[in-house]
Chains A and B, each alone.
Chain A
Amino acid sequence: MSDASLNTSTAQTGEAEFGDFFALLKPRVMSLVVFTALVGLLAAPVGVHPIVGLAAILFIAVGGGASGALNMWWDADIDRVMKRTRGRPIPAGKVTEGEAFAFGMTLSVMSVVMLALASNFVAAGLLAFTIFFYVVIYSMWLKRWTPQNIVIGGAAGAFPPMIGWAVATGGISVESVLMFTLIFMWTPPHFWALCLFMKSDYEEAGVPMLTVTHGRKSTRKHILVYTILLAPLAIGAAFTSIGGPVYLAVALVLNALFLKGAIDIWRRDEVQAEADQYRTEKKVFRLSLYYLFGHFTAILLQATLSGYGLGGWG
């Protein structure tokens, strides 16, 4: 608590720089949103005008960023406590909570309206639901209430490829739901691996993370179970219209590596982990980033190849 008051008194100038507002949009998360939405858009069987596609991706990115700003507004109290988030614009005293709220709300409404005008109402509706889900369902409700917060909340990060697909097709299909499921099932092991080595942060903030409520041993087991469930889904997507031989090869390699990592995490205990400063957990967390990037790059490759008549299973 004393940390919080110290931090807020340092630089509450009310004169934030442009970069401070940009930081509210969570640029790193936004880059993942842009990439997965772009893959969803390009993997769709229907083409869109490049300008419409560019505008749609931009508005999806802005909508995702706006939900990030609203999340920072709501979570400002716990962001002040956690080491990882102490440098964010609100706890650092660069942007006031009111400014962040106004900024997030304005961009949310603007991005949804502009996406509806640029593409269609299905895509805009999905974007609106994503923002609502991330801010209200995840941030306001689940995050501080249940250790399954990241499991259900992960859905918010899984929507972008579905929105990209809807921009092109105007609807929802098995393939877009599969892309959603891929991110949805990937989020828990990815985030729990991070929780294992960001040790005391969530405990101090009072966020009921699985590591806090069920212990580290159980978290390690959960990571393994989710990775096992994720593998057939990720590999199975190879046999749909977004997959093909290239995707299958990438999925087989990445899932084998991810499964091995999850087994390694499961077999370790805290004594071993502390002895090598969570080397395996950090390795698996990094691998999880390559895992998602690899799968979506493979989907993109398949879509590009099919443009030359080389995609799919012939």
Chain B
Amino acid sequence: MNEDVLKKVQSNPKFKELVHKKTSLGWQLSIAMLAIYYGFILILAFSPSTLGAPLAPGMTMTVGIPVGILIILSAFVLTGLYVRKANGEFDQLNREIVEEAQQ
């Protein structure tokens, strides 16, 4: 990449917008995933009986089963959210930045 293109991209307000949006969404979702998983690990370590309690009185299924399935689903849903946003809005913005830089 030559200096000229670099300067053009860096000074483009759309680039700043892209960087801001993409990084903040990336970090927000990462923190969400880490909080979900390590929250689960901490409950597991310090209060395992919470997860071992029956889901409803008289039931064999414990609270831990739907929680576990939900964590697996949350991983899928979070990636879906990011991909939708990035492949739509962010890529559109990115295309504009690249075009403007090559003019």
A and B: bona fide binding partners: no
Give B contacts to A, CB under 8 Å.
none
